[in-house]
Amino acid sequence: MQKASEYLETLRCRMDNDNLKKLLAIPDFRVHQFVAEAAELCNPRDIFVCSDTPDEIAYIKHMAIASGEECAALSTPGHTFHFDGYFDQGRDREVTKFLVPKGDFLDPALKQIDRDEGLREILGLLRNSMSGRTMIVRFLILGPANSIFTIPCMECTDSWYVAHSVSLLYRSGYETFLKMGPETEFFKTLHSAGKLDERMISVDYEKKRIYIDYVTNTVYSVNTQYAGNSVGFKKLALRLAIRKAYREGWLAEHFMIMGVHGPGGRKTYVAGAFPSACGKTSTAMLPGETILADDIAYVRNIDGICRAVNAEAGVLGILKNVNPVDDPLLYKVLTSPNEIIFSNVLVKDAKPWWLGMGCELPSEGVNFSGKWFKGKRGPNGKEIPPASENARYTISIKALPNCDPELDNPLGVELGAIIYGGRDYRAYVPIQQSFSWEHGIIAYGASLETETTFAITEEQGKYEINVMSIQDFISIPLGQYIRHYLEFGRRLKRQPIIFGANYFLRDLKTGFFLNNPRDKHVWIKWIELRVHRDVGAIKTPTGLIPKYEDLVRLFRQVLNKDYSREDYVRQFTIRVPENLRKIERVKEFWTSKVYDTPKELLQILNEQAERLMEARERFGNYIPPDRFEEVE
């Protein structure tokens, strides 16, 4: 164990006096130790410490452009673009692993490696990885400042693009670190883009690794630039926070939070968990409503009330299918002057282009593969699309005109509802309400089944269970996680109502989608009314569904369009065979891939199966909604 004087000497050798002064102003020796050890390992030329002054934030953006990691050659003021490597276009599940010490365990469903083995590998890859480059030290916080939700965090990186991205995605934290006591728990991340080519792109993609050490609250990332892998806070904001939340009795969740306007000027806050590319951000950005969070939320029981905050302060959003028809507000923001980083788009005529933007794309330009032309094929022989299917934008949430005014409220906002939704082409109806907290958590959250999408780097189109849309991030045994979730709700005086959403239901014969992308606004408005008991519902075996007459009125009010009974029947018919098969797949997952499945989970699933079979005996396999009884 090195002494404080030895760490100080290490820092003096690699930092000028101004940066050393900024670092030493933080009284916590653990901070100095982390920076010194990172410098000794990665061997940077020098170290820049950001103390969050406006000049320093501007300098980081300037260096992101000057270094070539970003380019400002776009016609709209404030817009820059960045390219990741051909093989670095999404969250890489296979090389993202928990470091598990001997004697501890995680469920087989979670990617993991022995801690000693993993540390030897990742530290070996990081050794001398910053040679000749600057190590940038950023201090940020998760959650609002001066709040029970606040978690201090720091990242050491050699990527100016990463350092710039966190300026938009997180709240400044240097002042928090200045006041931090010696017992304060904080999270750390160490990242290096590794060897770069002439386009400033990581080249050793086969040696890409993202390892999470929950013993020391540290994330290590190397040989990657894609933000979901390199912005370390994206890893620790959930993976490490989930363990902290479990110990302390709160929830860290993969939630969007929106303010939904209801009758009489009221606003109801609704959270939603959707896997990537399943409609989470587009829901949070619905016109006329407000957005408080688009990705990660922390949820606490404060005096018996379920209150939540946005862990972040910006949006790393998917661009695909953002167009002026389906996402008018977001599209306008993305095409207006503002500080926005576009990643992995097509660049042509000083404009960013992405898939599904509602117009014809150019037949040539520059993208993540270099000079691109229609028909160009990549190293794997596949045709390269104009832009990555996982092309992204990075923007401060405060730049959005619909940003909720409670964003930085240290007490957060009260949640009236929580939605769980995925890509379920066959079984669940577009929107339904649970019978209870327990039923919703199990039947909608723990049973969330979805199709893998372009947001992860593996084969698309496979069906999988994605528990609470957070399975990739859960850092405790899944059985513990579910029990903790159930107990959290039981301790509340006012529980949020749980809903299940499915924007991707298809017709079983034609394969056509039964939801229009804009229909989700109607489902959200119905949720708001149900929270306040303003409308009734119909009780089915899987949950409470809307009444036809209420949807007719909402479609007219919200979308100014007619809603036919035929559409209603097709969307809300209960498909008994598909639902029963879904339950079997969910049970198979929980009994084969989880060590300690709660008995309550299997009981609730069995009860749902029994209700479905009883309904089938009375009405057949496919039951239109008018066969079921109405409830208040």
**Helix, strand or coil, per DSSP, at residue 129:** coil
The one catalytic residue in 153, 278, 306, 403 is 278
d(C-alpha 10, C-alpha 241), whole Å: 31
Structural contact between residues 426 and 578, judged by C-beta atoms closer than 8 angstroms = yes
**Euclidean distance between CA atoms 342 and 365, whole angstroms:** 15
Evaluate whether 574 touches 623 at the Cβ level (below 8 Å): yes
Label residues 135-146 b or e (16+ Cβ within 10 Å = b). Answer: bbbbbbbbbbee
- Using DSSP's 3-state secondary structure scheme, residue 176 falls into helix
Structure tokens that stand for 51 in this block: 């103390």
Q: Are 504 and 425 in contact, with CB atoms under 8 Å apart?
A: yes
Burial 591-622 (b: 16+ CB within 10 A, else e): eeebeebbeebeebbeebbebbeebbeeeeee
Strands 497-501 and 431-433: antiparallel
- Alpha carbon 631 to its chain centroid, in Å, reads 35
306 tagged catalytic: no
Distances (CA, A) of 508 to 432, 462, 481, 584, 627: 20, 18, 35, 19, 20
Place of tokens 């939603």: 272
| Cβ atoms 87, 229 nearer than 8 A | no
Sign of the torsion angle spanned by Cα atoms 407, 410, 413, 415: positive
Distance of CA 333 to the CA centre of its chain: 20
Question: Cβ distance 498 to 417 under 8 Å?
Answer: yes
User: Where does residue 295 rank: exposed (0-12), middle (13-18), buried (19+ CB within 10 A)?
Assistant: buried
Q: How far is CA 153 from the centre of its chain?
A: 18
**In DSSP terms, which residues pair with 617 in a beta bridge?**
none
Using the structure block, give the residue that is written with the tokens 């009284």. Answer: 27
If residue 528 lies in a helix (H) or strand (E), which one and from where to where? helix 520-531
CA distance 25 to 137: 14
Catalytically active residues are 278
